[in-house]
Structure 1
Amino acid sequence: MPNEEVDTTSLPEGPFDGRHAFQAHLHAALAAAVQQNWREIVLSDPGFGDWPLGERAIADALQAWSANGRSFVLLAQRFDVFEREHARFVHWRRMWSHIVDCRACEGPGLPQVPSGIWTPSWCLNRIDVERSRGVCGREPAGRRALRERIDECLRHARPAFPASTLGL
């Protein structure tokens, strides 16, 4: 496709510093996911407290990306912030629960959940969560290293953040 080259170059490359840059990169990644029809997205963070997942633009991008055959993995240590701060994301997650897999990796001796975005063609690795510093790009070695850390957590993770709660 002729547009693929243009879309790919619009993704950020290299180091980033600060919350604003991190959030702008998340928006760019989700826009690219829509434009390039990414099949798989993994968002990983210990708690997602400073992610802008409750913004209308994020919900709209996820809605535009969503389709059968897609895979969205959300990996965290805890999901307690979602109901309080990411209501639009919670609504989207309920509608698309069949493509969303939420997993929690928390406990003594378990690996630390990395903060980042992984896709088969691009990744963002937030190395310093407190200051929102990290690196992003298409480099295979960087994508592979982040995916290995995510996979290690997923091996120990349990299902979490159900789309709905059933009670008696």
Structure 2
Amino acid sequence: MNAGSALLDSRAAFQGAVLGAFDAAIARGARRIVCADPDFAEWPLDDASLHERLLPWLKLPQRRLLLLAADWSVLPRRHPRFVAWRTPWAHAVEGWAPAEGDEAELPRVLVDDGDVFVHLRDAEHWRGRAGRDAVEAQRWRDALDGRLERAQPAFFLRPLGL
């Protein structure tokens, strides 16, 4: 990804931007990547090459991938390889559910701790922006950090009660 931002206008562009943002964040040595979506149904999380690229990053000290979703029931059905891949990395790949009242208007966004961001503003028409912009990334970090402070743990390795 080059500095600045690019407009997203299709499902393929969004998924490519997400993969590119992961690559950019990993390449710049990000310590934290935060992803938010109502359910992650359309994210390319089952991409085996993404898992391969995330592994060396997760092995570095203090690396965290935080996922914030309102509905965690979709992930095992849409992304079973990701769910299985994540099992040994549950300490670093965390799942969170927004606090009551925060689930409405949950943005579709990926942001690292630097300048990398992807924001899908209109999921019906696949409109959004992605790129490298420190101001935009900071705006998304601020918005998501507040939600994460109020969030509850989710995306458990085993269903509760078993």
TM bin, normalised by shorter chain, reads 0.7 to 0.9
Question: Which of 26, 48, 60 in structure 1 is aligned with 2:52?
Answer: 60
Q: 1:161 aligns with which of 128, 145, 155?
A: 155
- Secondary structure of 2:106's counterpart equals coil
What residue number does 2:62 align with?
69
TM-score by length of 1: 0.83
> Quick check: 1:46–1:76 contact (8 Å CA) kept in 2?
yes
- 2:21, 2:131 within 8 Å by CA — same for their partners in 1? no
Structure 1 stretches lacking a partner, 5+ long: 1-7
Structure ranking higher on relative contact order (CA contacts 8 Å, 6+ apart): 2
Structure 1 residue ranges, 4+ long, deviating more than 6 angstroms after superposition? none
**Deviation readout 1:47-93 (Å, 9 max, x if unpaired):** 11111111212222222321132011000111111111111211222
Residue 88 of structure 2 corresponds to 95
Q: Is 1:127 matched with 2:121?
A: yes
RMSD: 2.2
Does the alignment pair 1:45 with 2:29?
Answer: no
Aligned position for 1:5: none
Instruction: Identify the range of structure 1 (157-166 vs 45-54) with the bigger mean alpha-carbon deviation.
Output: 157-166
Higher mean alpha-carbon deviation, 56-65 vs 111-120, is at 56-65
Deviation at 1:110, TM superposition (A): 5.3
Structure 2 alignment gaps of length 5 or more:
none
Q: 1:12 to 1:58 in 2, by over 3 A?
A: farther
Q: 1:107 aligns with which of 100, 103, 110?
A: 100
Q: How many residue pairs were aligned?
A: 160
1:30 equivalent to 2:26? Answer no
Higher Rg: 1
SS in 1 for 2:71: coil
Asked if 2 retains the 8 angstrom alpha-carbon contact of 1:105 and 1:157, the reply is yes
